Amino acid sequence: MAVSNVGQVTELTWVADSPAAVEKIRPLLLAARTADGRPEALPEGPLPREFRGGEHLLAVDGDVLAGYAHLDTGGDAFGRQVAEVVVHPDARRRGIGSALVAAVLARAAEGVRIWAHGEHPAAARVAARLGLEPVRELLTMRLEFAGEVPRPVWPEGVRVRAFEPGRDEEALVEVNRRAFDWHPEQGALTVADVLATEAEPWFDPAGLFLAVGSDGRILGFHWTKVHSDGVGEVYVVGVDPAAQGGGLGKALTLVGLAHLRAAGVPAVILYVEADNKPAIAVYSRLGFVRSAADVQYAVRTQRASG
């Protein structure tokens, strides 16, 4: 359905998720990655997780896709719809981003949240113009390896082992649920999500570390990732609330960092909520420094928790 005209853009059209839609969108995401370093789109295979399913809004200029928005109609762990907006690098400063955001607001359920990546001033101006305010800030922190990683110290009775596909999915999801019951994305992880990630080209079970108690129960985990550009990531560190406070999170972080260091990656990134001061303090002591930030916006009158 065409919803509007935007300057030189012929129309904005909502389309359902389909293989044909994915192949229209992919070149734009690859162009944005070349210009901005994000999103993590690849020339083939599934789109990044934040662009899968839901609905797609295409801004077409002649035969060229000049802009795109994705609306996650399923919502985050708290049921809030979430949108991503991307404008082709060659089509910026023409009002396309504003038009896409306005169309998303008209389409989406009340309380929708819209991501702006990289602290772009233009995104802040669009948000202010459309009556949006920041409701969440996600920091990127980066560590450049300069020496050996300290050896982890494990709580008494705890051992560490690698994840075993076909055995550990349900237990991983369960401890993740308890560790991240407050988190909009991570708290919604399912067994199906884990299985889908196991099919991703970057997945390596040897880089997913499980902390196991004397009774065999999984107490926490550190899921590492190596990106296509060779940079490592502290993808997820989760600790069961019942096992927190004894240094398990730090030990898991260190064992994952040592694994990435041994794999030869030059640097490691991680994402952390800007208001999670204790976690930021831990990562800072390990040598991580802030390198970027992403901001989530919502309509000014829709202050939701989480």
Asked if residue 217 belongs to a known ligand binding site, the reply is no
Asked if residue 96 belongs to a known ligand binding site, the reply is yes
Asked if residue 244 belongs to a known ligand binding site, the reply is yes
Asked if residue 15 belongs to a known ligand binding site, the reply is no
Asked if residue 249 belongs to a known ligand binding site, the reply is yes
Asked if residue 250 belongs to a known ligand binding site, the reply is yes
Strands 289-299 and 132-144: antiparallel
89 and 35 in contact (C-beta within 8 Å)?
Answer: yes
Asked if residue 296 belongs to a known ligand binding site, the reply is no
Asked if residue 283 belongs to a known ligand binding site, the reply is no
Asked if residue 98 belongs to a known ligand binding site, the reply is yes
Intra-chain end-to-end CA distance of the chain, in Å: 33
Asked if residue 68 belongs to a known ligand binding site, the reply is no
Give the burial string for 180-192 (b: 16+ CB within 10 Å, else e).
beebbebbbbeee
Asked if residue 101 belongs to a known ligand binding site, the reply is no
Asked if residue 233 belongs to a known ligand binding site, the reply is yes
E strand residue ranges, the chain: 2-6, 9-16, 55-61, 64-72, 82-87, 113-117, 132-144, 159-162, 208-212, 218-226, 232-239, 267-273, 289-299
Asked if residue 9 belongs to a known ligand binding site, the reply is no
Asked if residue 93 belongs to a known ligand binding site, the reply is yes
Q: State both tokens at 10.
A: 């012929």
Query: Residue 47 and residue 39: Cα distance in Å, rounded?
Result: 9
Query: Residue 28 and residue 111: Cα distance in Å, rounded?
Result: 27
Asked if residue 86 belongs to a known ligand binding site, the reply is yes
Q: Rounded to a whole number, what is the largest CA-CA distance in the chain?
A: 66
Query: Residue 268 and residue 251: Cα distance in Å, rounded?
Result: 17
Annotated binding site for acetyl-CoA: 85-87, 93-98, 237-239, 244-250
Annotated binding site: 85-87, 93-98, 185, 225, 233, 237-239, 244-250, 271
